[in-house]
Amino acid sequence: MIALPDFPWDRLAPYKELAQAHADGIADLSVGTPVDPVPAAARKALAAAADSPGYPQTHGTARLREAAAGWLRRRHGVTVDPDDVLPTIGSKELVAWLPTLLGAGRGDRVVIPELAYPTYDVGARLAGAEPYAVDGLVAVGPERVPLVWVNSPSNPTGRVLPAEHLRKVVAWARERGAVVASDECYLELGWEDHPVSVLHPDVCGGSHEGILAVHSLSKRSNLAGYRAGFVAGDPVLVKRLLEVRKHAGMMVSAPVQAAMAAVLDDDEHADEQRGRYARRREVLRPALERAGWRIDHSTAGLYLWATDGTDCWDQVRGLAEKGILVAPGDFYGAAGRAHVRVALTATDERIDAVVRRLQ
């Protein structure tokens, strides 16, 4: 049996109960789950494709792959051949299985960020490999590693890795034959910093060799409930992933593929959603600062990485007593023990309630 960590959210349950006991109800800023409507374009496309009796294509429809390539070109200055796009059942699924799909295994170490979304660690373990949480690649030494994960903008810190930093990671990995997988699910949520894709020519020098970019429509288009993501990049790697995924039945349903294509073609709803998060961030950030928290990083993404200098669980308890639920920083690594992660994914009404309660 592979040893997996305890599911961290179970540890938050008592604080959720405490927050739920607040007279005006809980304001849940713990999980980054979208609360705003699914865009009309997605619903319409999903309904129009409802009569889909046959098996969907693992590689996705040409329409979907062209929409993904078009979005990367239009919004992120990235040129990718539609053949080198592969839909995934949300991006968590790919994060969890990528080391396995790439053939990593016992004796391998998968490099993940020191403070990170927990599924990178889980994915390494599912493959029988070992997660290696480290930010500076110098620390890795001369050993060969199969895979290096980067995540910019970061969950949980909202930190953006500049093009120069990403370029060094790519060069380092290419020298050793390691694959770089860049989780870019918050790429469109830059606030003070402008995030850049690993597939941008400023980072990869125009070649996608050894690189995969992992994208999600959960946050950009409120499609977390549809399970909609894709991976794009190195043609050889994408082909290999496609081969294994075909055998394993890892395919996105046809109606969801249709919905994905529709939202990838449309920027208006994404700009509107971005505006909602921007407004919530504009009120929440100063409210936390006035109440004694310092916000670190958080120049992009869907979270405020906050600290009042005490242990994260004391902060969780104090906020839960006010009916506000946040995630403890140590869910994301030991280096997060003095921080809490505050998500912007609550309705305007709940965000206003948080601001009042912090006064």
Ligand X SMILES: Cc1ncc(COP(=O)(O)O)c(C=O)c1O
List of residues contacting ligand X (CB under 6 A): 32, 90-92, 95, 117, 151, 155, 183, 185, 216, 218, 224, 229
* Residue 308 near residue 298, CB atoms below 8 Å: no
Q: How far is the CB of 252 from ligand X (least distance, A)?
A: 12
Q: How far is the CB of 219 from ligand X (least distance, A)?
A: 7
Task: Choose between 90 and 323: whose C-beta lies nearer to ligand X.
Answer: 90
Distance CA 218, CA 84 (A): 21
Enclosing H/E stretch for 180:
strand 179-183
Q: Taking phi first (over 0 means left), then psi (-120 to 50 degrees means alpha), and beta for anything else, what does residue 255 get?
A: alpha
* Residue 75 near residue 188, CB atoms below 8 Å: yes
Task: Choose between 89 and 355: whose C-beta lies nearer to ligand X.
Answer: 89
- Report the alpha-carbon angle 139-142-148, nearest 5: 65
Task: Choose between 229 and 323: whose C-beta lies nearer to ligand X.
Answer: 229
Strands (E), 41-170: 85-88, 109-112, 130-133, 147-151
Q: How far is the CB of 53 from ligand X (least distance, A)?
A: 27
Q: How far is the CB of 300 from ligand X (least distance, A)?
A: 12
Q: How far is the CB of 231 from ligand X (least distance, A)?
A: 11
Task: Choose between 155 and 257: whose C-beta lies nearer to ligand X.
Answer: 155
Task: Choose between 224 and 325: whose C-beta lies nearer to ligand X.
Answer: 224
- DSSP-assigned letters across all residues of 245-305: HHHHT----HHHHHHHHHHHT--HHHHHHHHHHHHHHHHHHHHHHHTT-EEES-SBSSEEE
